[in-house]
Structure 1
Amino acid sequence: MKITHYFILILLCWSCSSESGDADTIATDDSPMTVTNPLLDFTVPSNFPDATYSIIQNPPTEKGFELGKKLFYDGQLASDGVVSCGFCHIQSFAFTHHTHITSHGVDGQIGTRNAQPLHNLAFMNEFTWDGAATFLDTQPIIPITAEVEMNETVSNVIAKLNADDDYPTLFAEAFGSEGVSADRMFKALSQFMVMMVSANSKYDKLERGEAVTFTDEENAGRAVFDTKCASCHAGTLQTDQSYRNNGLPVDPEFNDIGRERVTGLPSDNRKFKVPSLRNIEITFPYMHDGRLGTLEDVLDFYTDGMEDSPTLDDQFRRPDGTLGLDITPEEKVQLIAFLKTLTDNDFIEDRRFAEF
């Protein structure tokens, strides 16, 4: 079984002048403080593709991960001091949010999109429903500065962190020299998020040839999935990372134009990134605006609920001119049984990612 180890847990002797942060001695007013900051072991599971995130450019370290985790759960990144990243990305829901169909931000403001799950981000090419972020380190800028989410400026966040009793020391420990900066903040958040690898579901264990077996119903569901779903939800990541219009009727309240908002191309109108189906059992509500509450609702939509438009993906057009996928009621039950094999309880219960 092939497993790629990017790093083994080792102690680094960091240069005080290195921005990547390796100082094992940090000067204080009283005396030098010795800090050990071992690299974390980032492992690519044998059934996964190579990581797209450059681990070499920003290697996760123990102190960097801890700093990223603290930032992830800190409301100081928002203007109200309450709405943290973890406010909308809750671990027990695979880092999604069940309470609202779309994200709620400061002062109860309502966003237009459902919070996406946070897992396997190190393997993704682009981020957000419309691909507005092409680099994980810059993705947090979007929720931090969005008025309906965290409603803050990056400069204000850095000022607050500099004035905090703990953060200057934590940044120095993580990066080897004094200095709280936006670049370091985003690198720390990425070090936390790239370690969120979800790869130990029943599906994964079967893929790796481990001692698990599917039930007859799960096997039947996988056969239906491979025939009718896998063209979009492809491969181990359960997404081909493309942008598609799946025929979801336009919600007049949001009138979300999707990928077109990023590219400006009419051909991208109403196209959204194909989401990964990993942990799909617990990442409801579904679709970019959270309008569908259950997996049964989703499958009913794909057979009977689509709306035509010029950019609708061709695979949803039947030969007789009607729209949708041909999935029988029995096949829907089987499909859901298979989709539940994608739940990774080890990831969901991993204490490394839990709020303090």
Structure 2
Amino acid sequence: MNLKWIIVLIGLYALCSCTEGTQIKAPTPFIFVPPIHFGDGFELPEDNSFTIEGIALGRNLFYEKMLSRNHQVSCGSCHQQSKAFTDGAKFSTGVDKLLTSKSSMSLVNLFWQSKFFWDGRALSLEEQALEPIQDHIEMDLSLVEAVERLSNSDLYRQQFQQAFESDEITPELIAKALSQFIRTLVSSNSRYDQYLLGEDVLSDQEKLGMDLFFTHPEPTIGLRGGNCGDCHLNILTSGDRTSYRGFHNNGIDTEEDLENGLMTVTGEATDKGKFKAPSLRNIALTAPYMHDGRFATLEDVLEHYNENVRTSATLDVLITDATNNPKNVLPVKLGLTDTEKKAIIAFLHTLTDQKFISDEAFSDPFED
């Protein structure tokens, strides 16, 4: 079922339910059909299946500013659809115009991932969904207050009843509704997707960029590559389903400047400086880049890997072993030519999904 039909189905449902004296119907199952080329590497929690009503409620909650202390911030404030659910800022702005310490990540194809936030501290979307609400910088609202505010709304009490057959609003149900909506944020209609499905062609430059992107260089045999695909896996969604292998120290800092990153979660010194490799879908829309937003452009990112990798004890072997130069010495230099760099940038632009950033099913319902 195409996600844009959610809106139509919700409208039809509203016409035949919720009138006074009418028995509330059971939630309507939403049949999720994954993009054919994405595979089945996703898991839907047994206790939070998709429903039309749950997704609609989650969409409202995602854009609900009532869930911030000052009624001025929502999830959608830092995750804007036009920017592929990022906000275009180095650091996101929370309540009282306070700045977070990290750049907002794109919310895209999270159904195929299992570890969330830059440091991987949340192991489910349900766990992740409640953290920003409580964070003292982001939304700064206790879950007790969040429940009270929503419970004082006739509309939300009705929507929770429709979605979960319960008139008692709880943090668990808030998290479930938000997670249902976020799981529907699937981007699969870029030119790259159309190419994979045989529905479009890439230019010679874009094709060269794609080949370089997915090739690990082997200078001893003359095989040139950009080494990007070593970390950005699974149709350009980082691979973290079964382990923390989707987390890397990618050489943006020297030893003395390394942040804890994944080490905060695992307690292992070998994980210091490792952060989640994000999906590169719609990457041309999600600047600035890295967990701290230090790079303004894709060209800056590529130049880092090409010329400016910094060494440290936990620098990822996927980077230390990646060079197009016959002599691999530290500091690592990828050694791409200007033509090759431009080709990779051209390929990255084929990952933009215009349908994703304009789909009404993902838009702010309070602006409809």
Shift of 1:166: 1.6
More deviation, 312-321/257-266: 312-321
The amino acid of 1:349's aligned partner reads S
Residue 248 of structure 1 is matched in structure 2 by: 252
**Contact persistence 1:106–1:151 (CA under 8 A):** yes
Q: Secondary structure at the match of 1:44?
A: coil
Aligned ranges for residues 1-356 of structure 1 at < 5 Å?
31-35=21-25, 37-54=27-44, 56-98=46-88, 100-209=89-198, 211-227=199-215, 228-241=227-240, 242-249=246-253, 256-317=259-320, 319-356=328-365
In 1, Cα distance between the equivalents of 2:182 and 2:318? 34
Say what the alpha-carbon RMSD is for the aligned residues: 2.5
> Does the CA-based 8 Å contact 1:83-1:106 persist in structure 2?
yes
> Aligned in 2, Cα 1:341/1:57: closer, same or farther, shift over 3 Å?
same
Q: Provide the C-alpha distance between the structure 1 equivalents of 2:171 and 2:254, rounded to a whole number of angstroms.
A: 37
Query: Distance in 1 between the 2:143 and 2:76 partners?
Result: 18
**Distance (Å, rounded) in 2 between the aligned partners of 1:76 and 1:345:** 30
Using the alignment, how far apart are the partners of 2:99 and 2:295 within structure 1? Answer: 18
Change (3 A) 1:327 1:230: same
Rounded Cα–Cα distance in structure 2 between residues aligned with 1:187 and 1:240: 24
Structure 1 residue ranges, 4+ long, deviating more than 6 angstroms after superposition: none
**In structure 2, how many angstroms separate the alpha carbons of the residues matched to 1:251 and 1:127?**
25
Q: Report how far residue 57 of structure 1 moved.
A: 3.3
Alignment-derived partner of residue 16 in structure 1: none
Are the equivalent residues in 1 in contact too, given 2:251–2:312 (CA < 8 A)?
yes
The sequence identity of aligned pairs, in percent, is 38
Normalising by structure 2, what TM-score? Answer: 0.85
Change (3 A) 1:195 1:251: farther
Q: Measure, in 2, the Cα distance between the counterparts of 1:299 and 1:251.
A: 21
Indicate conservation of the 8 Å contact 2:107/2:185, yes or no. yes
Cα distance in 2 for partners of 1:332, 1:290 equals: 21
Q: How many Å separate the matches in 2 of 1:63 and 1:250?
A: 49
Query: Secondary structure of 2:232's partner?
Result: coil
CA distance in 2, matches of 1:263, 1:281: 32
**220-229 or 241-250, larger mean C-alpha shift:** 241-250
C-alpha distance in 1 between matches for 2:290 and 2:359: 26
Shift of 1:36: 6.7
The amino acid that maps onto 1:293 is A
Q: In 2 relative to 1, CA 265–168 (structure 1 residues): closer, same or farther, beyond 3 Å?
A: same
Unaligned runs of 5+ in 2: 10-15, 216-226, 241-245
Change (3 A) 1:324 1:273: farther
TM-score, structure 1 length as denominator?
0.87
2:275/2:291 contact within 8 Å kept:
yes
C-alpha separation in 2, matches of 1:261 and 1:34: 46
For the residue of structure 2 that corresponds to 1:347, the secondary structure is coil
Q: Distance in 1 between matches of 2:120 and 2:141?
A: 21
